[in-house]
Structure 1
Amino acid sequence: MSARIRTTLIAATAVALTAALAAPAIAAAPARGAAGHDATRRAVEAAIADGVPGATLTAKDRHGTWSTTAGVGNLKTGAPRSAQDRYRAGSITKTFVATVLLQLEAEGRLSLDDKVEKWLPGAVRGHGHDGRAITLRQLLNHTSGVYNYTNDDTFIRDHFTKDGFSEHRYDRWTPEALLAVAMSHKPAFAPGTSWGYSNTNYLLATMVIKKVTGHAYGAEIRARIIEPLHLTGTSVPGNRVTVPQPSSRAYSKLAASTTGPTYDVTTLNPSMAYGSGELISDSADLNRFYSALLRGRLLPPQQLKEMKTTVKVPIAAHARYGLGLADLTLPCGVHVWGHDGGIHGSSSQAVTTADGRHSLAFNFNGDWAADSDAVMAAEFCGTR
């Protein structure tokens, strides 16, 4: 987005997102109902012309399912992207985590008004942090003030610079180690007094899920969401460093600048994004997930209402944030619900209308400039 909330791991470390590569050849996939999505196709092609290597996109509405691809999935071979590509979905993970926590509330196993201290005694302490003053709800809507561990200077150096990434791309992180990074800093603000995106919030949410259920959050996502919805391209990889096939290569500048060399960052250990950006998925699965969520298939009415109760996002006038779910107002006035996601070499967006009947999910296999706003506006506001 042009001024969108930065709900991604990459953005949290101030990696700039502007154009750099020369435009690869464009190849759009034939699809059902393509004439009704001409504006979307043009927006995807324009994003590729601005420099990212490639894109894959799938939309689903009352007319059916339509997909398109553009650019390349492999800069060395020139192989195209696929409509079936799996990719690292980054912070889209957060909607899955929030859904599980809300399901647990619906089952009476916890309350979103519980303090973090109740479930993780003594865990949120240090440099002014106090889990006795933070609710689970404040974790999910980013009003807790807990320091974002991905803003730590050493973490940035070790994971988002060329030399650091080369040395540390396969490091295994535990949730406790990531939390210790956050607790070594002061809070961003007192709980409930402001809004500030923090990956640590969702790290803590997944720790609560494990405490309540006895299972790692990935197992709960599989049992509660992936399997019931038959999301065959979706997984929580843990320490697995590869992306399952079919998939494309992923590219990054590994610098705050968008000029200079482009690096292949496809393989990495995603435990650095535990609970906040670990998920792998594909566009068809993400459309199915968000449609099911907004249509009430995953949450009872009360919990879905809570999820859609939003707070103001100070840095984005057209966005509000609920519980792991953003409400975006497009230029034509249409509201869509969903999340964006970024991690090394991958920038994604998945949104749906409030009735869940028109969904869009897409991915760029480069973590610098790509105009996601323009693509969403084209699909939901363009000529149909």
Structure 2
Amino acid sequence: MNTIKEFITSIESEIIDIRRTLHKNPELANEEYETSSLVKEKLTDYGVKWEAGFAETGVLGIIEGERPGGTVALRADMDALPIQEANDHDFTSENNGKMHACGHDAHTAMLLGAGYALEKIKDQINGTILLVFQPAEENSPHGGSKQMMEDGVFNKYTPDVIYGQHVWPSLPVGKVGIRDKEMMGASDRFKVTIKGKGGHASMPHDGNDALIITNQIIASLQTIVSRNVNPLDSAVVTIGRIEGGYSYNVIPDQVTFEGTVRTFKPEVKEKVKQRFHTIIEQTVSAFEAESDIQYLDGYPATINTPKWAEQARSSSRKLLGEDAAPALDPALAGEDFSRFLLEYEGAFIWLGTQIEDAENQKPLHDPGFKLNEKALPIGSEFLAAVALDTLKTLT
């Protein structure tokens, strides 16, 4: 690991520069053409063999050790979000309405840094390390991981274990978040249109107020978590957008609302989904109206394999000290890496990237999100370390 650290230290400024270049030029899901080109260019410069064309813009770097052994995959996502950046540093987004507000620019840069160092010592590696650069993580419920697997990303090299890493602004630099099982939640989404009958505000008896019906439905949906889900389980039903109405004196004939459902356990997800449909359908029926329900099953919950979570925890402690992996709660945010974990054993890890001015740290997906770039070489070292340690365990 001293050698790995030396190699990563030697390109630390380049890792940061890659991240800033990507940050200035963010691309949305399924549009990561320039990002993909940069990844392929850097892998070529580093001498890493690569294959491309998975989920259109996905790239697979391949580092084959000169000794036989297992196969470990390391994954980084590449896409940005449709957010207008509100920061004022000198590498803010130059693409209007697009921003790396979830740290995928850092993920890509850190994996490239790890790949550089691992390629330098491949004569000492027992097995194969795969570098998976994934598009469209933010494109829920479709995502890029499933498409990459369907396109054969692991047909030739099948991972025994796969790891993903995500910047985490609530953790200080030098800390990592690792849980044995639940890390992140299932993330379903919905769009519901309530159809009533419009009319004049002064004559409500001649109409069927879609706004009143929607209000009743939204209030009732909040009872799912409070009255239908075991208090010891986790679930969230959030309405994030409502659109309807024409004027102060017009009864609206149609209202649309959108939101999300978050859970961990499959049985809880199904219970919430069933109650969601029942409440809407029966409420609409009671008001003699109509509804159009679009419910999209999103990413499944991200559930770590305990053995490899412990391996990641051990690697972090060797690299960063005994207190590197504090106990923490899972998050109900969704993550496309979950689909890799449905097919292969592995673990998802949060990397501490809290800025120095912690009180002003903005969360992920915020227009003012920032990360502490001191964490970037740590992230590269950790990816390399956990891959090498896992290969030793597999041997």
- Same topology, TM > 0.5: no
> Could you say which structure has the larger radius of gyration?
2
Higher share of residues assigned strand: 2
TM-score by length of 1: 0.26
TM-score by length of 2: 0.25
Higher RCO (CA-CA < 8 Å; seq separation 6+): 1
